Structure 1
Amino acid sequence: MYVADSGNDRVQRYAPNSNNGTTVAGSAGNEGSATNELHQPISVVVDDNFNMFISDMGNKRVVKWAANTTNGTILIDGSSNGAANGQLKNPYGILLINDSSNQIYLSDQSKDYVGIWTFGAGIANTTWFTANGTDLNQPTQITMDRLA
């Protein structure tokens, strides 16, 4: 089990039948924006290769943290406060579909939308749901039923 420990600026992993977690990303109480730091991680998903995708809300970014590493790679950077299309303002929930499409679905609570980001050689954003003032209001967690 992986836990986004927002107040401690880290992600914890709990092995089966264990009451003690191990820090696998970030550092307890050491918020920051360097590639080995997190600031208020709010959501984490793990792929089949144990890579973590972390919604690092305090830094307005999404970070991919490979298994057994001490640094993450910034996939989506909203450090300019999310003014432009495809930038983040308040990233929250992440949904990863393990279908080799290199896509993550991400909600942005302040921009009132859920988007699809394709990553790899470059990062492209395609808005999936856009808010027009009535569609979404501060979306947080997202999930998906079985795809057709």
Structure 2
Amino acid sequence: MILNFSRPLDLFVDRNRLVYVADNANQRILKVNFEKREVSVVAGGSHGNGTDQLSSPNGVAVDQLGTVYVADTDNRRVVRWPRGATSGSIIAGGRGPGS
């Protein structure tokens, strides 16, 4: 299992002991299963403002259904990624700086 992080800024551990990491400079959220020695990208993976991209993800949370919520900082939005999805949906922000 190889973990190549670049500025990991946040992590979340779910009830199954899966670890989700906001890998900021790599523009992605990783899910790490230490028991199975598996790593997968569950959100993002490339830089940009599309619904399949992230720009400096700084925070991550996961609900009981496995839905991933990302604080996509440079895009000024919160994005929801359902389990297994290849893109997310904006649930807050995304229209520039707030006031």
Instruction: Check if 1:73 corresponds to 2:89.
Output: yes
Partner of residue 30 from structure 2, selected from 12, 24, 47: 12
Residue 78 (structure 1) shift: 4.0
Partner of residue 34 from structure 1, selected from 43, 47, 50: 50
> What secondary structure does 1:35 align onto?
coil
State the TM-score, normalized to the length of structure 1.
0.51
Q: Which consecutive segments of 4 or more residues in structure 1 shift more than 6 A?
A: none
Which runs of structure 2 are paired with 1:1-148 in the superposition (5 Å)? 1-17=19-35, 20-27=38-45, 30-83=46-99
Residue 17 (structure 1) shift: 2.6
**Structure whose residues are more often strand by fraction:** 2
Give aligned-pair identity as a percent.
Answer: 33
CA distance in 2, matches of 1:35, 1:14: 23
> What secondary structure does 1:58 align onto?
helix
Residue 19 (structure 1) shift: 5.1
Residue 7 (structure 1) shift: 0.8
> What secondary structure does 2:25 align onto?
helix
Gaps of 5+ in 2: 1-18
Gaps of 5+ in 1: 84-148
CA distance in 2, matches of 1:3, 1:19: 15
- Structure-2 change in CA distance of 1:17 and 1:10 (3 Å): same
- Letter of the 2:30 counterpart: Q
- Structure-2 change in CA distance of 1:19 and 1:7 (3 Å): farther
